[in-house]
A and B are shown apart, each in its own frame.
Chain A
């Protein structure tokens, strides 16, 4: 008989390998849509409780940021605001999602300490909740982009639909990023601070404000070897009405494969230890 403790994670007896439990953690966690969906919504609600606009407050802040910055920089760089604003906005909306997933990811397990000390629960489930919550926020923020597109008269094309597989790939990566950051930060609390710093720099080193074709010579590598560029491009390019080239898809798929392999390794080796680190 199998033990049916929270989310069907069997106990680590000698007979059951840690590797199998790592997989069960992932599969059971992802499948518990009901729970992580609920936890994600609840956290969103909690953060904006008793505010009139709820998550749209982030949207308002972001809207101010992109419109003012976009108009100034379009002038500085002599670019057409109607071309630059959609570019900047689509990039920023994706970047904000990515960076908050990372920052929240760092504390996902730490903040769930109470829960983790009470239940034998899938860590993947908590990571999914984190990604889902930031996904919800992203769709709130997307309203700015829609408004900017209306202003710029950007057409909706068939390529726009490619945003859907783009999201799927992005989320696939976001979950393992959360898992790894969550585990590492639980053990080494300094990593959280380091992450914040690195993310700040990455915003400028990743083609968000500027486009990769503006770079020449050696600096062009900044975009070419930057994984974050591709991760964001698979959502951003469809949003801008362009189909991403196959190489972009491939790189993001490769990232997912490498990332998940590492995550399974991490869970196999350290899953039983994480709760002791909290």
Chain B
């Protein structure tokens, strides 16, 4: 059973480069507290991207993450992927995760499509046999035909997205993570992608999609969360959440009164209550 459990997760990004790093650390040692007094605990500037997020994603959830720029959508996805480890709180993930952010991992523009399929496949945790077996499927879905024998730098952005999507979804992931660049494909591809994701969902897994596209989330997801400044401010069925989102866009966040059952409670009540809406 695939499952993701986040408990009070905080993700903070230290900002380096605002002060000379090496010199600071060096003199920080020598001068001790003097320089450190500039900031709290000598930790420098941090950006808090996720602020006490508690969330359980269940088997069969197709979760849409919605929120404006900088709300923490991509960070949350990367926490799901195990890339950013929370600075506070815990995370537990059961299931094989296949992330598809921007382009595919390890894609080399100078390698041919076929070479990239093998490299990316290996990096995503497939065995050579598995890649061999999935190759016809990847070829067919990517619709790249003869281009697969050419270096990837000759591909258009849309073609790269198709290739990456074909590889990432070939893996039989239990948990598929999609970032918004997915929208870079054309309309027909978006339809195909939705169909393929539907196929994946039938194979009973978790799909998480971070996007600003209300349309995409409406089509793919059965559950959505609304992020704002790194907090989950609403969690529930897609339709309800999109409604809140629309209202927020219309009136600004201050005027939105969240329905009690839908809003994630400040003490981070179990998401199960929110799901019961």
B residues with a Cβ closer than 8 A to A are: 1, 13-14, 16, 21-23, 25, 78, 81-85, 90-97, 99, 101-102, 105-106, 108, 110-111, 115, 118-119, 122-125, 128
- The residue from A6, A14, A42, A272 contacting B125, defined by CB atoms under 8 A apart: A6
Task: Using A49-B110, A119-B81, A276-B13 as known contacts, say yes or no to A38 and B125 having CB atoms under 8 A apart.
Answer: no
Q: Which residues of A contact B81 (CB under 8 A)?
A: 5, 118-120
- The residue from B23, B108, B118 contacting A46, defined by CB atoms under 8 A apart: B108
Pairwise interchain contact A13-B119, C-beta atoms closer than 8 A: no
- The residue from B92, B96, B102, B115 contacting A5, defined by CB atoms under 8 A apart: B96
A-side interface residues, number (CB < 8 Å): 37
17 example contacts (A-B, Cβ-Cβ < 8 A) are as follows A1-B94, A4-B95, A5-B93, A6-B123, A7-B125, A13-B91, A34-B128, A35-B122, A38-B119, A46-B108, A115-B105, A115-B106, A117-B83, A118-B83, A121-B123, A187-B16, A190-B21
Task: Using A13-B92, A49-B110, A119-B124 as known contacts, say yes or no to A42 and B83 having CB atoms under 8 A apart.
Answer: no
Q: Does A12 contact B (CB under 8 A)?
A: yes
Closest to B125 in A: A6
Q: Which residues of A contact B111 (CB under 8 A)?
A: 42
Pairwise interchain contact A11-B122, C-beta atoms closer than 8 A: no
- The residue from A3, A14, A187 contacting B94, defined by CB atoms under 8 A apart: A3
Pairwise interchain contact B105-A11, C-beta atoms closer than 8 A: no
Q: Which residues of B contact A117 (CB under 8 A)?
A: 78, 83, 101
Q: Does A188 contact B (CB under 8 A)?
A: yes
**Chain A residues numbered 77-120 whose CB sits less than 8 Å from any CB in chain B:** 114-120
**Chain A residues numbered 117-148 whose CB sits less than 8 Å from any CB in chain B:** 117-121
Closest to A116 in B: B83
Q: Which residues of B contact A119 (CB under 8 A)?
A: 81, 83, 99, 105-106, 123-124
Q: Which residues of B contact A120 (CB under 8 A)?
A: 81-83, 97
Q: Which residues of A contact B96 (CB under 8 A)?
A: 3-5
Whole-angstrom distance between the Cβ of B179 and the nearest chain A Cβ: 9
Pairwise interchain contact B99-A118, C-beta atoms closer than 8 A: yes
Whole-angstrom distance between the Cβ of A43 and the nearest chain B Cβ: 9
**Chain A residues numbered 187-233 whose CB sits less than 8 Å from any CB in chain B:** 187-191
Closest to A9 in B: B82
Mask of A262-278 contacts with B, CB within 8 angstroms, 1/0: 00000000001001110
Q: Which residues of B contact A45 (CB under 8 A)?
A: 110
User: Which residue among A14, A34, A276 has the maximum number of chain B CB atoms within 10 Å of its CB?
Assistant: A276
Q: Does A169 contact B (CB under 8 A)?
A: no
Q: Which residues of A contact B125 (CB under 8 A)?
A: 4-8
Pairwise interchain contact B91-A11, C-beta atoms closer than 8 A: yes
Q: Which residues of B contact A277 (CB under 8 A)?
A: 14, 16
- The residue from A13, A38, A191, A275 contacting B22, defined by CB atoms under 8 A apart: A191
Specify the main secondary structure of chain A where it touches its partner.
Answer: helix
What are the 7 tightest A-B residue pairs by CB atom distance, in nearest-first order?
Answer: A272-B85, A120-B82, A190-B22, A118-B105, A188-B22, A5-B97, A4-B96
Whole-angstrom distance between the Cβ of A69 and the nearest chain B Cβ: 35
Pairwise interchain contact A188-B82, C-beta atoms closer than 8 A: no
Pairwise interchain contact B90-A13, C-beta atoms closer than 8 A: yes
Pairwise interchain contact A39-B119, C-beta atoms closer than 8 A: yes
Give A158 to B25 CA distance when docked, in angstroms. 51
Whole-angstrom distance between the Cβ of A147 and the nearest chain B Cβ: 31
Q: Which residues of B contact A9 (CB under 8 A)?
A: 82
Whole-angstrom distance between the Cβ of A113 and the nearest chain B Cβ: 11
Task: Using A3-B97, A272-B85, A276-B13 as known contacts, say yes or no to A189 and B123 having CB atoms under 8 A apart.
Answer: no
**Chain A residues numbered 170-201 whose CB sits less than 8 Å from any CB in chain B:** 187-191
Closest to A6 in B: B125
Whole-angstrom distance between the Cβ of B80 and the nearest chain A Cβ: 10
Extra inter-chain contacts (17) besides given A3-B95, A3-B96, A4-B95, CB under 8 Å: A3-B82, A5-B81, A5-B97, A5-B125, A35-B122, A39-B106, A39-B119, A42-B108, A46-B108, A46-B110, A115-B123, A117-B83, A118-B99, A118-B102, A119-B83, A190-B23, A275-B83
Pairwise interchain contact A118-B94, C-beta atoms closer than 8 A: no
